[in-house]
């Protein structure tokens, strides 16, 4: 199979991912082999490739937003059928035994392994994954549309859950990239009003197009007072803005895994009146199942830009430069016609 392999971390401008020919991996008894249709690209891939994250496995195939079809099943796999379409996300495996797993917080598992970091991911034509950590996919969403839901979508969805936003409430969103553009559609589908803060005029326009009641900058005063807020942008100072803005009893959830320093909070303005602040760490399988169900029902439409597998270095560079419209997706099938007899 063809794969874009990372052996040496380097700035993406140096094209560190190398096109290689590898043996198609064999699934172990609890695993499935999937033929990859698409794989979304994500900032975490960029951090893996460039060395902001230490390598857990070397060499490694990055990529953790995989859509594919079951090509082969391990001896003990009964939950999925051959040819079934599945999705694979960042959470590759959890132990099921630690205190976090036992209470349903597998996103906090002490022994968790991650796709495209601890195990080979989706920048390839095939991948093996544990059957219990792949998601059967709903009809009605194409392989290209689903890919961005599997990381950006799921993590933002968990933030939406932790914000405890109720139907009919007003939700503020800070930042409007891949994750927000999925989750605004979920929130609107639940009958919420959404206001959006973004520095980018283009993102504000997209937010209005998708149904935001209002979109502006943090220097402007929105027409509605939100009950809840989700901060997608990795900018610590926004925490103060959001906590001050939300109504009494309001919740602010942070969808970003990395965050610049959060400035000092003032008890009276930022926390009093039972305001809550939540952070998000990865996501559980249950989050994935719920998002995919809700996304299919809305239905959520993702904006994507498709690249061939061999174009992965360039796609990551465009991501780094914020030059991708919507979410970037690799499509192994869209590459050279030499890859025919599988
Ligand atoms: Zn665990
Ligand atoms: Zn990701």
Neighbours of ion ligand 2 (CB under 5 A): 42, 44, 151
Q: How far is the CA of 327 from the centre of ligand 1 (A)?
A: 31
Whether residues 105 and 197 fall in one domain: no
- Please tell me whether residues 12 and 122 are part of one structural domain: yes
Ligand with the closest atom to the CA of 177: 2
Determine the distance separating the centroid of ligand 2 and the alpha carbon of 222, expressed in angstroms: 31
In a domain, 296, yes or no: no
Answer whether the bond into residue 45 is a cis peptide, omega within 30°: no
Q: Judge if 203 and 247 occupy the same domain.
A: yes
Give the number of the ligand closest to the Cα of residue 40: 2
Measured CA to CA, the distance from residue 104 to residue 114 in angstroms comes to 18
Do residues 168 and 134 share a domain? Answer: no
Q: Is 290 among the domain residues?
A: no
Q: How many CA atoms lie within 13 A of 155 on its CB side?
A: 27
**Are 233 and 104 in a shared domain?**
no
**Residues 308, 260 share a domain:** no
302 Cα–ligand 1 center, Å: 32
Question: Which ligand has the nearest atom to the CA of 255?
Answer: 2
228 and 120 housed in the same domain: no
| Beta strands in 165-210, from DSSP E residues, in sequence order | 170-174, 193-197
Encode pLDDT of 78-127 as tens digits. 999 999 999 999 999 999 999 999 999 999 999 999 999 999 999 999 99
Count of domains forming the chain: 2
Residue 208 DSSP label: H
Q: How far is the CA of 71 from the centre of ligand 2 (A)?
A: 24
> Are residue 61 and residue 161 in the same domain, yes or no?
no
Task: Indicate if the pLDDT at residue 298 is higher than 50.
Answer: yes
Under 8 Å between Cβ of 290 and 154? no
Residue 207: how many CA atoms within 13 Å on its side-chain side?
A: 30
pLDDT > 70? residue 321:
yes
User: Whole domain around residue 77: which residue ranges?
Assistant: 2-141+301-334
pLDDT value at 336 more than 80: no
Instruction: Express each pLDDT in 117-156 by its tens digit.
Output: 999 999 999 999 999 999 999 888 999 999 999 998 999 9
Instruction: State yes or no: pLDDT of 209 exceeds 80.
Output: yes
**Domain check: are 38 and 77 in the same one?**
yes
Q: pTM value?
A: 0.90
**Whole-number Å distance between alpha carbons of 304 and 326:** 5
């Amino acid at each position: 199979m063809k794969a874009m392999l990372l052996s040496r971390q380097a700035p993406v401008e140096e094209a560190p991912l190398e096109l290689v020919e590898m043996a198609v991996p064999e699934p172990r008894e609890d695993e499935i082999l999937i033929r990859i249709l698409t794989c979304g690209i994500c900032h975490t891939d960029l951090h893996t490739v460039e060395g902001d994250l230490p390598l857990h496995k070397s060499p490694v195939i990055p990529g953790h937003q995989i859509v594919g079809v079951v090509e082969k099943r391990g001896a003990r796999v009964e939950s999925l059928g051959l040819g079934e379409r599945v999705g694979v996300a960042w959470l590759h495996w959890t132990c099921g035994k630690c205190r976090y797993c036992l209470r349903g917080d597998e996103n906090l598992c002490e022994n968790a392994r991650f796709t495209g970091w601890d195990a080979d991911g989706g920048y390839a034509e095939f991948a093996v994954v544990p059957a219990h950590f792949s998601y059967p996919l709903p009809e009605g969403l194409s392989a290209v549309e689903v890919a961005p839901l599997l990381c950006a979508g799921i993590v933002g969805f968990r933030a939406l859950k932790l914000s405890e936003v109720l139907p009919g409430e007003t939700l503020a969103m800070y930042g409007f990239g891949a994750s927000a553009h999925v989750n605004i559609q979920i929130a609107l589908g639940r009958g919420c009003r959404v206001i959006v803060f973004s520095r980018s005029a283009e993102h504000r326009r997209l937010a209005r197009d998708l149904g935001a009641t209002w979109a502006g900058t943090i220097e402007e005063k929105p027409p509605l007072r939100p009950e809840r807020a989700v901060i997608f942008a990795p900018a610590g100072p926004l925490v103060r803005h959001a906590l001050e803005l939300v109504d009494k009893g309001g919740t602010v959830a942070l969808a970003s895994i990395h965050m610049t320093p959060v400035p000092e909070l003032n008890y009276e303005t930022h926390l009093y009146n039972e305001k809550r602040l939540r952070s998000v760490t990865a996501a559980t399988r249950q989050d994935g199942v719920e998002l995919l169900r809700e996304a299919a029902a809305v239905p959520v439409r993702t904006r994507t830009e498709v690249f061939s597998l061999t174009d992965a270095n360039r796609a990551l560079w465009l991501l780094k430069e914020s030059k991708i419209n919507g979410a970037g997706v690799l499509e192994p099938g869209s590459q050279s016609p030499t890859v025919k007899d599988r």
